[in-house]
Amino acid sequence: MSTSTPEELLAFDREHLWHPYTSMTTPTPVRLVDDADGARLRVDGSWVVDGMSSWWAAVHGYRHPVLDRAVADQAARFSHVMFGGLTHEPAVALGRRLVEITPEGLDRVFLADSGSVSVEVAMKMALQYQRGRGRPGRSRFLTVLGGYHGDTFDCMSVTDPDGGMHAMWKGLLPEQVFAPQPPAQSAAPEDVAAWAAAFRAVASEHAPELAAIIVEPLLQGAGGMHPYPAACLRVFREVADEHGLLLVFDEIATGFGRTGHLFVSELVTPDVLCLGKALTGGYLSMAAVLTTDEVARGISASESGVVMHGPTFMGNPLACAVASASIDLLLASDWQSRVTRINSRLTDGLAPLRAVPGVRDVRTIGAVGVVQLDHPVDVVAATDAAVASGAWLRPFRDLVYAMPPYVISDAELDLLVGGITEAV
């Protein structure tokens, strides 16, 4: 155990460790976590309710005995072996579960080491697929405004141009094709129809150069916490089929029940599905790309005949073991009623904020609650206010939002609503 005092830890951190999207030279404050249990974190010595699930991941909360044991048992055997030329029971067991629980047809599994890498792999697969089908000119991707697909370069290229700072990277990022953002989930049918017509027009204009459509289905996450109508998913599918494009669903954030569906892909089946974040219950970094047999065959017909990707930690046994345990735990739980309960408590608890000056919108979907302001959030002040009232939140842009672990209790949900209210 460390013998450093909290002050020493924070002082070293401030001088030497980069944090996400944070300046090294003028960093905003970080807080010290020294314990975590269930839906709570001990932050700077006080227990607070976690509203973030460590960014969509820790659906079972922290220090879950079943998940702890899965990691420990696998570590007692072997923690990692290369996946080139070798396989192991944890990878096979996870692959089998993923094939079983995802929609029919998605049964070829690539185990990647993070969400961004899985999106890279999915995009590479789409390009290789088109080459294998004799269409090498199809090298661009169609997506919608407002998306987020990760932080590596290809992922950034399909992320919203503003959110992804495309202006700053001009000339360095592949230039993809952007269609309008789908309307809000409550949109009238004629608004959905107008969006669909616009989407179809962009697709038709660019079809000969497009390899695939890539989107976050039903809920755009880090790009703006924007839920949209399921009718749009059918438009994606129709347009993809009409023009010979693959449909890639990035369910890294939405997968494993967060929207109320185990996978949004149950509504409309894509050709390629990316999963991550909650895949391991938030224990270890791992993601998966699932494809159809048709995609696998197309890739095999390309020049190389193989997927040109093979991360060092592909199929990491510790991550596979905890992912299988997390999936079993989820499916054995009453996750649907938990998500429904979280939804109704967030919906009721946040509704009064609509009347607060400066609040533009309040929306929920599944186990996600969002308050959108009409101005950028003062992140430091909002975080201080939330922590002081017993909740851990990480607002961004104009959004104060929460997607708590599914194990959160009603009393903890009330604390969380109080924290969001204070932050707002």
Window of 20-28, 86-94, 103-111, 216-224 that interacts with ligand PLP by CB under 6 A = 216-224
Q: What are the φ and ψ backbone dihedral angles of 384, each rounded to 5 degrees?
A: -55, -45
Window of 113-121, 129-137, 207-215, 389-397 that interacts with ligand PLP by CB under 6 A = 113-121
The yes or no reply on residue 222 touching ligand PLP (CB under 6 A) is: yes
Amino acid identity for residue 382 in this structure: A
CB-nearer residue toward ligand PLP: 253 or 371: 253
Q: Which of 50, 277, 283, 406 does the annotation list as catalytic?
A: 277
In the complex, which residue's CB is closest to ligand PLP?
A: 115
Window of 60-68, 249-257, 261-269, 406-414 that interacts with ligand PLP by CB under 6 A = 249-257
The yes or no reply on residue 258 touching ligand PLP (CB under 6 A) is: no
Please, what's the b/e burial string for 290-309 (b: 16 or more CB within 10 A of its CB; e: otherwise)?
bbbeebbebbeebeeeebeb
Q: Is 250 among the residues known to form the active site?
A: yes
CB of 55 to ligand PLP, least distance (A): 7
The yes or no reply on residue 271 touching ligand PLP (CB under 6 A) is: no
CB of 159 to ligand PLP, least distance (A): 9
- Give the span between the Cα atoms of 81 and 84, in whole angstroms: 9
CA 104 to chain centre: 22
Following DSSP, what letter does each residue of 291-322 receive, concatenated?
E-HHHHHHHHTSSS-S-S---TTTT-HHHHHH
Structure-block tokens of residue 313: 């930690």
Residues 346-375 that bind ligand PLP (CB under 6 A): none
- Give the span between the Cα atoms of 226 and 414, in whole angstroms: 23
CB of 251 to ligand PLP, least distance (A): 7
Q: Is 277 among the residues known to form the active site?
A: yes
- Give the span between the Cα atoms of 406 and 79, in whole angstroms: 28
Residue 350 CB partners (closer than 8 Å, separation 6+): 362, 364, 369, 371, 417, 420, 421
- Give the span between the Cα atoms of 369 and 392, in whole angstroms: 14
CB-nearer residue toward ligand PLP: 222 or 342: 222
The yes or no reply on residue 182 touching ligand PLP (CB under 6 A) is: no
Structure-block tokens of residue 286: 């791992």
Question: Looking up tokens 């899965």, which residue turns up?
Answer: 70
CB of 406 to ligand PLP, least distance (A): 17
The yes or no reply on residue 115 touching ligand PLP (CB under 6 A) is: yes
Residues 121-180 that bind ligand PLP (CB under 6 A): 148-150
| Closest to 81 measured CA to CA, from 322, 320, 309, 317 | 317
CB of 223 to ligand PLP, least distance (A): 8
| Closest to 263 measured CA to CA, from 331, 312, 214 | 331
Residues 320-339 that bind ligand PLP (CB under 6 A): none
The yes or no reply on residue 228 touching ligand PLP (CB under 6 A) is: no
CB-nearer residue toward ligand PLP: 114 or 269: 114
CB-nearer residue toward ligand PLP: 249 or 406: 249
The yes or no reply on residue 307 touching ligand PLP (CB under 6 A) is: no
Q: Which of 50, 113, 154, 250 does the annotation list as catalytic?
A: 250
CB-nearer residue toward ligand PLP: 279 or 387: 279
Residue 236 CB partners (closer than 8 Å, separation 6+): 199, 213, 215, 217, 247, 268
Q: Where in the sequence numbering do the catalytic residues fall?
A: 21, 148, 250, 277
Q: Which residues are near ligand PLP by CB under 6 A?
A: 114-116, 119, 148-150, 216, 221-222, 250, 252-253, 276-277
